Amino acid sequence: MKNGIHPDNYRLVVFKDFSCEESFLTKSCAPSKETIQWEDGNEYPLIKLEISNRSHPFFTGKMKFVDTAGRIDKFNKKFAKFSKRKATDGDAAPAEAEAPAE
């Protein structure tokens, strides 16, 4: 490994998955302005997670939809015009096929 490319300020940090309320304590150099009191009574920096191995469907084997800030609605609104156009094109194709040929 190259010298001088890794940070030296590793410390104990609590990572908390807010989708399933699970927390774990590990070393990290990620910056954080918030702190939380851990099970041992000490206070550690807090890093908030939306998803971790405790809530991800790959690790849990359960499908759980986590809609963060309306991402599903935003996706549906963005691509709604494509689904309408496809439905319209699909309706027009059979009508043309039934028309008698001259």
44 contact partners, CB below 8 Å, separation of at least 6:
12, 13, 14, 25, 35, 36, 38
Query: What is the side-by-side order of every strand in the sheet holding 22-28?
Result: 22-28, 11-17, 43-49, 35-37
CA 14/CA 24 separation, integer angstroms: 6
Tens of each residue's pLDDT in the chain, 102 residues: 788 888 888 999 999 987 778 888 999 999 999 999 999 999 999 998 877 767 766 556 666 555 566 777 778 888 888 876 555 555 555 544 455 555
Tokens of 73: 């609605």
Q: What is the pTM of this model?
A: 0.53
pLDDT for res 18: 78
pLDDT for res 68: 62
